[in-house]
Amino acid sequence: MNLSPTEEQLALAGRLRDLGAARLGADIEARERSHRLQPGDWERCARAGILALPLPTAYGGLGLDPLSCAVAMEGLGHGCRDNGLLLSLGAHIWAVEIPVLEFGTEEQKERYLPALCDGRMVGAHALTEQEAGSDAMALTARARRDGDGYVLDGTKRFVTNAPIADVTLVYATVNPALGFTGVTAFLVDRDTEGLTVESRFEKTGMRTSPWGEITLRDCRVPAGARLGAEKQGSRILARAMAWERSLLLAPLLGTMRRQIEQCVQYARSRSQFGKNIGRFEAVAHRIVDMQLRLDAARLLTHRAASQLGGADASYAPEAAKLTTSEAAVATFLDAMQVYGGLGYTTGTDIERNLRDALGTRISSGTSDLQRVLMAEKMGITARARRTQPPRRPAATGAGGERRADAR
């Protein structure tokens, strides 16, 4: 399997890198302090076709395959300093656009996809609840059938893009007793009566990516708002997570690449004890390890992307998400060591990148959960099949009758 980027893929990545460097993330320090996304940046991304990357041309998309999307998003991350913007873009594309594309009716596709592509609408994906995080199927949000529609009740937490979303993909159960088989998905428009959004929590990192708490109280939606069939929510979620875990952190590959390049330049220009610090093995080896982690994360991301069109049994999405998130945290910690005291200041972006990376080990499933899922898919934690021990023949008497003392 050849995962080397083509000239066309590299050219697109280069254009998005230049866009990110020149037009996106301006005044990131001030906006991060105010926990604010720059609306103009979202519009610029829409005009550049970023929101349209994986969607068919029939709905205004560019029709790119997942691997091309991964390469393109790495290029964007290489140029753009605003990791929060990149996270919001990913949540919109992979967890909203893709489920609508794969499970929506033609009416739903025509209504939502063109507007999601060109930036007229922003999407959010509402799954997490107070008691349902990694245990995503332990949902308490209810969907009660009422006439020709449904009534939704429940609360969703930590919803990326919630304060700015025009449509939210909400997961609720039609019957808690059914467990994961009762989960059903709904597309809920922002102006739907009974839906309220509140920004209750401030984040350690990714501060320019808005998130909030969504409350549904007697929120009535028509049957046409249901995405897919009733009780199909677990399948929809599985596909959304496969795409999100494969590609959500692709921009972070570019961020790591930019950080490594800066560390190389700094190690060649910073002098201590009469020579450049890059001449010290401790520094040189640390940067080499940073590069090795990046290379491994990129390969796993590209492998996961290349398999998205196939069966869902592969652990490639979990491996890509786990490796990239852990690599990012380690890389930015190493960068801080290379820069020393300067790396601990806000002027180098290192501390902000580190804070942003910490959250990637939690979002879309914690690192621990990724290992649990991988163990299941590898068959490690599968229940062993019970086998009956061989039955001893019954003891019999000389004439074939069963003896009374037989056990």
Of the three residues 122, 140, 171, the one that is the final residue of a domain is 122
Residue 173 within any structural domain of the chain: yes
Among 245, 237, 250, which Cα is nearest to 72's?
Answer: 250
Residues 6+ apart with CB under 8 A from 98: 54, 239, 240, 243
Residue 107 within any structural domain of the chain: yes
Same domain, 199 and 307: no
Q: Along the 407 residues of the chain, how does pLDDT read in single tens digits?
A: 677 899 999 999 999 999 999 999 989 988 898 888 888 999 999 999 999 999 999 999 999 999 999 999 999 999 999 999 999 999 999 999 999 999 999 999 999 999 999 999 999 999 999 888 767 668 899 999 999 999 999 999 999 999 999 999 999 999 988 888 999 999 999 999 999 999 988 999 999 999 999 999 999 999 999 999 999 999 999 999 999 999 999 999 999 999 999 999 999 999 999 999 999 999 999 999 999 999 999 999 999 999 997 766 699 999 999 999 999 999 999 999 999 999 999 888 999 999 999 999 999 999 999 999 999 999 998 766 555 555 544 444 434 433 333 33
The enclosing domain of 358 has a CATH number of: 1.20.140.10
**What is the number of structural domains in the chain?**
3
Same domain, 118 and 131: no
Same domain, 100 and 204: no
- CA distances (Å), 373 to each of 164, 249, 313, in order? 32, 18, 10
Residue-range definition of the domain harbouring residue 28: 7-122
Same domain, 105 and 133: no
Which neighbouring-strand residues pair with 235? none
Same domain, 83 and 144: no
- SS3 of 32-80: HHCCCCCHHHHHHHHHCCHHHCCCCHHHCCCCCCHHHHHHHHHHHHHHC
Task: Tell me how far the alpha carbon of residue 62 is from its chain's centroid.
Answer: 21
Same domain, 116 and 22: yes
CA dist 353 and 82 (Å) reads 9
CA dist 114 and 59 (Å) reads 5
Q: pTM to 2 decimals?
A: 0.92
- List active site positions: 244
Same domain, 59 and 28: yes
Same domain, 248 and 353: yes
